[in-house]
Structure 1
Amino acid sequence: MERHLTVARTARYQQLGELSAATQRVWFVCHGYGQLAAYFIRHFAFLAEADPHIVIIAPEGLSRFYLSGNGGRVGASWMTSDDRQHEIADHIGFLNQLAEKVLAECPSDVQITVLGFSQGTATVGRWLAQASFRPAHLILWAGSFPPDIAPEAAQQLLQGLPLTLVIGTEDEYISVAQSEQQQARLQQLGATPRLLTFTGPHTLNRELLAQLAYAE
């Protein structure tokens, strides 16, 4: 008979910029499948370098594994199909604890942006449905809002929330047409998402990141 035991463990995250009373903006950015936060956060370095009042926080999935064979490069995952609900709950607990720590060091009116990339889009959606704060902007990049959130909880989160969907025209995992379908589904939940595209594959795009950051 399968049983479960809740244990303490050490979670890892990366940070760019220093939290202080002068912090005006915090970005929480969640990586995709098989990535590590240390490498993912580099895509956002130019934002922190340009603005001393912005801090980038990149949590890392609790499950790490070798990307090929029994050694070499390591990646992280937010969840798999095995024991899924416990993994989801563990990650929501981790992200809530991290947010509490980070936001305690910021002014009460700090502007929060949450970005999920690929597998990270489902993670941030589930997290925010149970988070103690409401972001100023949610960005779902090359992924989808999780369909397993109860409609009532999804509507409560999404109504009135600035929401941006981003997809590369050459993305090998999700098409522009699928993103358009996702946009329509989110509209049915009361959201008003805008859909942005760029020429490129399943990756982040600096020009669009800058556009999103500086439009805030």
Structure 2
Amino acid sequence: MNSSEKEISYTTTNTYSTLNSLDTNTKTVWIVFHGIGYLSRYFIRLFESLDKTDNYFIAPQAPSKYYKGDDYRRVGSSWLTKENTKKDTQNVLRYVDAILSEENIPKDKNLVILGYSQGVSIASRWISSRKINPDAFVIISGGFPKELSKKDFSFLNKTTKITHILGQKDPYFEIAKVEEEKVRVKHLLPQIEFRTHPGGHELDPKTVKNIL
């Protein structure tokens, strides 16, 4: 058998979702990265309870779609897998760059970057690789990429508010591993604040309402 794997580059198109309007009344722009299994248009609905005048939300869409369940009716998506991770990561980051260019966020707005579950890996890699300096970075129910080090975030302002939020009943995290991860993330991001909510592996809008 004489098989080989080759590589090509091509232009592709993807969607993303927004909530509310970006105008002179907007105080804060949120870029929110969903977890595995979501579509951005459903994920963004989780933020509908936050003030509609003050907040504008941008939800990028993970590029890989798949059918969920045995009935093949519901569609979910995934950001990355262990297959071809480095190249796929660069593709995703260029896609997020394109969103930022398209939205042209005014400099006078607060910027919050939020990653939920698998979305934490994209949010953190985008911040570190593009040297993004948000007003706040929110990590919810997700693991931090192992390859990232303290120097990857050395450019961040000390005033950047960094918050880690985890559900007390999250079935995906064992207490010992959570505590170990907290130590590692605290080393990477010394100003981080740890919070919990009483639920499970979910995004609780109440915990991000007053994040700034």
Say whether the fold is shared (TM-score over 0.5).
Answer: yes
Change (3 A) 1:5 1:64: same
1:88 counterpart residue number: 89
The letter for the 2-side match of 1:78 is: W
1:142 counterpart residue number: 141
Aligned partners of 1:145 and 1:173: how far apart in 2? 14
Matched position secondary structure for 1:39: helix
CA positional deviation for 1:150: 4.5
Q: Given the two structures, how large is their TM-score scaled by the length of structure 1?
A: 0.88
2:22 counterpart residue number: 19
Unaligned 5+ runs, structure 1:
none
CA positional deviation for 1:132: 5.3
Structural mapping, 1:47-196, within 5 Å: 47=50, 50-69=51-70, 71-102=72-103, 104=104, 106-131=105-130, 133-157=132-156, 161-196=160-195
Q: Given the two structures, how large is their TM-score scaled by the length of structure 2?
A: 0.90
Change (3 A) 1:175 1:115: farther
The count of residues paired between Structure 1 and Structure 2 equals 209
Q: Does 1:31 align with 2:30?
A: no
CA positional deviation for 1:109: 1.8
CA positional deviation for 1:5: 1.4
Is the Cα contact below 8 Å between 1:169 and 1:176 reproduced in 2?
no
Aligned partners of 1:177 and 1:162: how far apart in 2? 26
Is the Cα contact below 8 Å between 1:65 and 1:74 reproduced in 2?
yes
Is the Cα contact below 8 Å between 1:26 and 1:56 reproduced in 2?
yes
Aligned partners of 2:122 and 2:38: how far apart in 1? 14
Q: Does 1:10 align with 2:13?
A: yes
**Percent identity of the aligned residues?**
27
